[in-house]
Structure formats: C-alpha cells, structure tokens
C-alpha cells in the first residue's frame, strides 16, 4: 500500500464516506448496546419492570436504578471521554425502552394477551438526561458519579409517579385491602410465576408508611454512585483496542 495513494477520488467523496460510516456506526452501536443492556436489565430487574403489581414503593424503587445505571456509565466512558458526545446515557435508555416497548406490545400483549397497562416498562429517561447533562457541564467523572448517580436513583420514583399513581390507589376487594396494581395481578394470573415468588415491600420499612419510597430512592442513589464508578472503569476497558499477539 502506497502512502501517497488516496482512498477517495475527491473531498466530497471523503465527506460522504465519513458521514456514511457515522450512520453505520450509530446503527450498530445502538442495537448491540440495546441487546446487551436489555438482557442485563431484564435478568437483574426485569420482574419489577414487567408487571405493575411488582412496581411497589420499595424493591422496584431500589433495584431498578441500581441495575440500570451500569450500561449508561460504560457507554459514557466511550462517547464522552473519547468523542465528546454528551448522550451516552440517553442512547442506552432509548435503546432499552425501544426494546422493551416493542416486546410489551408484540409479545406480552400480542402473544400472551396481557393488557399493556399491566406490562408497560419503567421510565428511566429523567435520570439519563440528568446524568448526561452533569457530565457535559462538569466534564468530571467523579462529579457525574456522585451527583449524577445520586440523581439517577432519586429521580426514578418521581419520574414514574405520574404513570404508576393511578394503580397505587387502595381498593377493598373481598374484605382485603390492596392496590389496584395488586388486583390486576390477581386477575391476570401468571401460572409460571406464582404469587409466592413475588417480591414486593418486604421488611419492616413499610411500618413507616409514607417514608418507604424516598428512603428506598436514597439508598438506590447511594448504590448507583458506587455502581457508576465500577461501570465507568468497565467501560474504559471495553473501549481499549488491544490485540492478542500470537506467541
């Protein structure tokens, strides 16, 4: 290969080739990250995300942000720290939500006939926007981890509150007090996931009633800070361009 030779015939062709690569890269990155992130999220927090009767004030609020901040932290380590693109977290969440919504419509509703207002995914977008904005404004990984991670945990419940509130209204049914979401769960029986394995609002924290959600969100924010740090470094490793040389 000669260094003097050019790969393109003109500047215009070079620009066109460069733009085309941008699109191909964006498409591939989006869908591969979507696949990896979705399988991670559905198997670490999925049950709370699938069903409204799992979307309680305690475990859902605690678990979802902790397991969701992983890929955004890793992808930010690429898009911001290598290319100064301030949308790593939003890209991940958009991918995750796209994968989830397609599934809830075509499969949860289309194949197993659960109504969509029983199986809609959690909204993670407010936390993702804040995470990206803090990184862009501060250009600091530490600040993004501490402030962004904490916000990611704290914003989860308020970000979902308008959606879930109507289903957390208390109802009395056959002499028992429950939420509308619980009632949905009793009516739409999932034989493969019987009631005894549902994990919601365990522990003594619920004794304090109204404090359950904010305390859970605060704990989730604390854990999200730690997870952000770890996954930032995971992301850095995945960003390398190492080669294994044959002996």
DSSP per-residue letters across 84-149: --S-HHHHHHHHHHHHHHHHIIIIIITTT---HHHHPPPP-HHHHHHHHHHHHHH--HHHIIIIIH
* Residue 26 or 226 with smaller CB distance to other proteins: 26
Shortest distance (Å) from residue 102 CB to other proteins: 7
Q: Cβ of residue 116: shortest distance to other proteins, in angstroms?
A: 12
Nearer to other proteins, 101 or 173 (CB): 101
Shortest Cβ 207–other proteins spacing (Å):
25
Q: Which residues contact 244 (CB under 8 A, 6 or more apart)?
A: none
Is the CB of 31 or the CB of 161 nearer to other proteins?
31
| Tokens representing residue 211 in the block | 């404090």
**Exposure of 167 by Cβ count < 10 A (0-12 exposed, 13-18 middle, 19+ buried)?**
middle
| Closest CB to other proteins among residues 198, 214 | 198
Smallest distance from the beta carbon of 125 to other proteins, in angstroms? 18
Closest distance to other proteins from the beta carbon of 140 (Å): 21
Tokens 């979802």 label which residue? 64
Cβ nearer to other proteins, comparing 76 with 151: 76
CB 126, CB 97: distance < 8 Å? no
**Min. distance of Cβ 69 from other proteins in angstroms?**
14
Q: Is 4 helix (H, G, I), strand (E, B) or coil?
A: coil
Q: Directed axis angle between helix 59-68 and helix 11-44, to 10°?
A: 150
- When the beta carbons of 108 and 157 are compared against other proteins, the nearer one is 108
């Amino acid at each position: 290969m000669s260094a003097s030779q050019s790969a393109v015939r003109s500047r215009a062709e070079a620009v066109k080739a460069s733009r085309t690569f941008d699109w191909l890269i964006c498409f591939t990155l989006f869908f591969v990250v979507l696949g990896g992130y979705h399988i991670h999220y559905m198997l670490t927090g999925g049950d709370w995300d699938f069903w409204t009767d799992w979307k309680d004030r305690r475990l859902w609020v605690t678990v979802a942000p902790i397991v969701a901040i992983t890929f955004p932290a890793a992808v930010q380590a690429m898009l911001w720290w290598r290319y100064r693109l301030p949308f790593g977290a939003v890209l991940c969440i958009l991918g995750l939500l796209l994968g989830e919504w397609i599934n809830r419509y075509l499969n949860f509703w289309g194949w197993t006939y659960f109504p969509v207002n029983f199986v809609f995914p959690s909204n993670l977008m407010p936390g993702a926007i804040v995470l990206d904005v803090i990184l862009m404004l501060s250009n600091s990984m530490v600040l993004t981890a501490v402030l962004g991670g904490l916000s990611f945990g704290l914003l989860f419940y308020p970000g979902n509150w308008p959606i879930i509130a109507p289903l957390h209204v208390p109802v009395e049914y056959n002499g028992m007090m429950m939420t509308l979401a619980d009632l949905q769960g009793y009516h739409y029986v999932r034989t493969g996931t019987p009631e005894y394995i549902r994990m919601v609002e365990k522990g003594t924290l619920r004794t304090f009633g109204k404090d359950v959600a904010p305390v859970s969100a605060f704990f989730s924010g604390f854990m999200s800070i730690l997870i952000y740090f770890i996954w930032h470094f995971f992301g850095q490793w995945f960003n390398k361009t190492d080669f294994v040389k044959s002996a």
